[in-house]
Structure 1
Amino acid sequence: MGRFRSLSAAATIAMLSVISVSAGAQNVRDLDGQDGDVRVYQGEVKNAPTKYQVTVPANSALEIVAAATTQSQLDPYLKVRNVADGETLSEDDDSAGNLGARVYVFAENEMRVEIEVSAAEAADDNRKVGKFELSVRPTDWRPTPPRTITFGSRSEGRLINGESHVFHIQGQKDQRLVATLRAADGSALDSMLELRRGNATSGETLAEDDDSAGGTNGLDARIRRVLPANGTYTLVARGLGTTSGAYTLEIGDGAQRAAVPAVRELSLGVRATGQFGADEAISDDDGDEQDREIIYRLSADAKRTLRSNPGTLIIRMNTASSDSEIDPMLDLALETPLGRSIVASDDDSGGNLNAELSVDLSALRSEPDWLDRVRIVARTLNAVDGDFTIEAVRGQ
């Protein structure tokens, strides 16, 4: 395998070389010419990333791991680029476990790559500097080729520790993309999903998600995004940390963004239905979905009835069926010149995670116009999709 000789396990351990690398990362360390299948280097991240270069032989792959040393608090981040054109080939934060980073790099033709070790952007200050150990070794791993998927389709696969699977999809401006990465039954996969612009994994990240789809273990990932333009988009599926396993990637039907009423009407004694994951998919100008809520106001008939005979108003929000996984939440709010003011909230008073609010309207005898400003806000606490019912009735 080019510069890497195939050795027995005992010989590999015997030839393990540990080489000290100076900190500062202003110079790029050349790793070619070092003997041994497994090569380990000591380095340190201070004020700048530490960089290395190595040649990947044709038709072969390298596994590259960066991990903090025993006494170090560093949270390492790995990025590998093609030296010839600067393209980012792979990057990772924690897939090696214990905050360690792992990437795999495959070369169809001989390729010179640059390895950059830095600190994860989200790391605490005490984890942004420190010593690390970098290991570089040949591997039988081969990348799964990018796949093309379409709206309304499903694709299955298996992710191995640190691996990413790439999917390309064609979309149109204002088309609604709902992509769900579900672990198969019995799979230990903790799903992670990213949406990027263009057909390269180094494109601009538009959205990413870990656990918002819930699922059997509460670890499935879902991205909901209104596409900003016509063109190709890339979905990157992987496992969080060291998790691996079989999965199914499900793509919604891609309906165009609908004009959803900002505020709906709720009549007394009439049960209305709603759906999180469709009805509330209102997005801002950048395509980011706003808070998952559906807002109601009382109908004109309901307000007339309540003004003529104030009493107790009961508002109930329930899951619509056993298949719905939402956790209903109700807010009673008033619209004011300074914005919406919540005056009462409920999560589980309706039993079985359902929400119920009971409101005394006796004050309306002196303030009948108060009802014009009432807003009933239906929400879900667990950010999963599902159907619900909502109704407002007079109390006894």
Structure 2
Amino acid sequence: MPPASRTIALVLAAGLALSACGAAGEPPRRAGSGSASAAKASPSPAPEPTECPDGELIEAVEIPAVHADPVHIPETTVGGEKVPAVTIPGVDIPAQRVPAQCVEEKPAPGGCLGAVRIPGTSIPAVSLPGVRIPGVRVGGLEAEPVEQEAVAQEAVVQEPVSQPEVCQSRPSEEGEYVASVYRPSLYRPSLYRPSLYRPSLYRPRVCNDEGECIPEVKVPSVSVPSVSVPSVSVPSASLKSYVAGPGQVIKGDDQIAYNIEADVLFDFGKADIKPEAEKSLTELAASIREEVPSDAPVKVDGHTDSKGDPASNKALSERRAQAIAEWLATKGGIDRSRLRTTGYGETKPAVPNTRPDGSDDPKARAKNRRVVVSASRS
């Protein structure tokens, strides 16, 4: 590891507090730029996912269609009087579906455990219509009507559940103890819609002395099967405590992170790596190869200060993260497939961008302009 006095401030952290909850960009804010982007069309609904790059896929639950044939009562004659034919409607309930979803695990900078959300879901309502076998009064015979009321099951709804991002505190000096952080497990209970049943209906046959009859009628029972949606859980997670080392060179048992001030790497408002940063990046890549398993993913997170509009800051932080990842892939000996980049813009400041009285703090903003490279050591 390079000593703390070298050009680059390498901060090795058990999750890394420096990046815990960071900041962004540099380009001057243009007048009116906020209002120009304020009115945006509401996004169209996202398509149902087939995979979830940032979280678990919750499989869809298919609910089969239900069909019952209509019952036809043919025309008949009793005592010289015609009884017209009647058709009792059948049942057709289309197939239903509880759509697939993604557990949402937000990316987080080193020293933070990202926010997690299990979206809400529901099993739709279902009903079976009422049914009636009509009565008949003809030729001195009478068959009473028979009825069965509609039956229904209401929708079953489960609200979303979530846990917010949690971050370790930023060490301010050598030897400072930085406590562990813990994100509790998350659980969405299973859902269950009971089966639905409409009993069979029967109107008995009625006959006179001449052997003429009003025929019997049977309407079979109809049932809708029960539906279950499995529970979903996300296990708890934690980052271990650590003690800041000389010059805030910090390395935890399970995580390592490197905090590099952007001013060392880039000119103001730019994303082109400065030639003089090559030596520091070479040292960084050597440390990654030594400290991190060769198959472990490596995160590269860009941050800016609060100068400039948020959209420009986010774009700048993304370009800077991509520039460092590209350097690590082409010159640092880190396999490109291991690298993951995220631009946080000004949303995760390491320190406040302003003084307590609200005035600008250029030195603090310089600390917020940074790139954080982190990985698991286990």
Indicate whether the TM-score tops 0.5. no
Name which structure has the greater RCO, CA cutoff 8 Å, separation 6+: 2
For the pair shown, which has the larger CA radius of gyration, 1 or 2? 2
Q: Which one has a larger percent strand, Structure 1 or Structure 2?
A: 1
Give the number of the structure whose residues are more often helix, by fraction: 2
